[in-house]
Amino acid sequence: MLIDSSRRVAGTGEPTRTAQRLIKGPTLGPLKSYSRMWGPLLLLILWEVASQTGWLSPKLLAAPSTALTTGYRLIANGTLLPHLLASAQRAYLGLALGVALGLGLALLAGLTRLGDALIDGVVQIKRAVPTLALIPLAIIWLGIGDGMKIALIAGSVCMPVYLNTHAALKGIDLRYVELARTLGLSKTRFVRRVALPGALPGFFTGLRLAVNLSWGALVMLEQINTTQGIGYLMNRARDYGQTDVIVVCIVIYMILGLASDGLVRVLERRALRYRKVIGS
C-alpha cells in the first residue's frame, strides 16, 4: 500500500495511525486536563523543600506552608477581610469607570468622523504616557486618597478597551456596510445590529487586558499612603520583615486577578455564542 508524503493512505485521504500519533503527540489520558499545573506544582514543592532544608532563609522568602498558615490566621482573626474589601472596591470601581470611558470614546471615535478626528489623537498621546508619570499631577489635583487611585486605575484600563474596540469598529467588513445600505437600514439600526455586534470580540479582548491592568495599577498605587488595603498590609509586612504576609498578599492579588479574568471569559463565551452557531 502506497503512502504519500503527508503520511496518508493513498486513495483514502486518511492519516495513518503513526501520523496521527506524531501530530497529536503522546497522550496523557485523564491527566491531560491538569498538565498545565505540573510546572507550578513542581515549583511549590522545590520551594517548600528549599525552605525546610534551610537553603532558602525565611528572611528572604517564607515557605509556602508558612504562608498558608499565616493566611488562615489573618482570615480567622478578621484582619484580612477589611483590607481585601478596600482593595477590591478600588480596583472594581476604577475598572468600571475606565471601561465605560474607554467604550464611550471608542464608539464616538469609531462611528463618527468628527469623533475620530477629535478623540483618537488625544488618546494616542495618553497611551504614550506611563501611569507612573501621572502620579505627581494626580496627587496635586486629587490628593492622596482613594479618588486619586481610582482615577489613575480608570485612566489605565480605558486604554486597552478603547484601542481594541476602536480597531474592531474600524475593521468591520465593508460588505456588511454595503448590505446594510442595500436593505435600507437606518444609522441607528446599523449601529445596533451590525457595528456593535461586530465590535464585541475586540471589546472583550480589551476588557481582559483592562482587568489585568486594573490589578497591576492597584498594586503600584496602594504603595502610596494607604491605611487599608492589601498594599497596606504588604508595606507594613515589609517594614517588619514578614515575608509570609507578603507572600499571602501576592497570592491574593493573583487569585483576584485570575478570578476576574475568568469571569470576563465566561461573559465573552456567552456574548459570542453566535460565532459557534455560524461556524457549525
> CA quadruple 225, 227, 229, 235: dihedral positive or negative?
positive
pLDDT at 33: 54
pLDDT at 3: 42
Q: What angle do CA 206, 212, 214 make, to 5 degrees?
A: 95
d(CA 242, CA 191): 55
Neighbouring-strand partners of residue 9: 3
Identify the H or E element spanning 111: helix 80-111
Q: Where are the domains of the chain?
A: 82-279
Q: Can you list the residues of the chain whose pLDDT is less than 70? A: 1-34, 274-280
Q: What b/e readout covers 191-215, taking b as 16+ CB neighbours within 10 angstroms? A: beebbbeebbbbbbbbbbbbbbbbb
Question: Which amino acid does the sequence have at 177?
Answer: V
Transcribe 240-256 into DSSP letters.
HT-HHHHHHHHHHHHHH
User: Considering the entire predicted model, what is its pTM?
Assistant: 0.78
Each residue's pLDDT tens digit, 150-181: 999 999 999 999 999 999 988 877 777 777 77
d(CA 148, CA 142): 5
Q: What Rg, from alpha-carbon coordinates, does the chain have?
A: 25
| CATH superfamily, domain at 82-279 | MetI-like (1.10.3720.10)
SS (H, E, C) 172-186: CCHHHHHHHHHHCCC
pLDDT at 172: 78
d(CA 272, CA 265): 10
Neighbouring-strand partners of residue 15: 8
pLDDT at 223: 83
Q: Are 15 and 8 in contact (CB under 8 A)?
A: yes
- Record the cell numbers describing residue 90, joined without a space: 478600588
